[in-house]
Amino acid sequence: SHSQLEDTAPRIVEHPTDLLVSKGEPATLSCKAEGRPAPAVEWYKDGERVETDREDPRSHRTLLPGGSLFFLRILHGRRGKPDEGVYVCVARNYLGEATSRNASLEVAGE
């Protein structure tokens, strides 16, 4: 019989969905992963790793305990659209990794 404590590779049980957000508003990209041991979640935007307040305490992006990515406010200025792009969340443990569906974050027209 299978023990309940067998380690399992990550799988994404809640995927992020496309967001349209007004500049300066908060936003959350959902991601929830299961696995044993509990997988570590990282986010990528347009293929580049997203830094959160874990790396930079002043970041406006927070990785929530469940794996979702929370934006205190969407940054969007004449010089750039640092939050706009296509996001995926990746959950990893020693048995493997799982990648969520793509979710695009767009800032509503000025």
3-class SS letters over 68-93 = CEEECCCCCECCECCCCEEEEEEEEE
User: pLDDT tens-digit profile of 49-98?
Assistant: 999 998 999 999 999 999 999 999 998 877 778 899 999 999 999 999 99
The residue-averaged pLDDT of 21-43 equals 96
Q: Which domains can be identified in the chain, with CATH numbers?
A: 8-107 (2.60.40.10)
The more confidently predicted of residues 99 and 3 is 99
At residue 110, the pLDDT reads 62
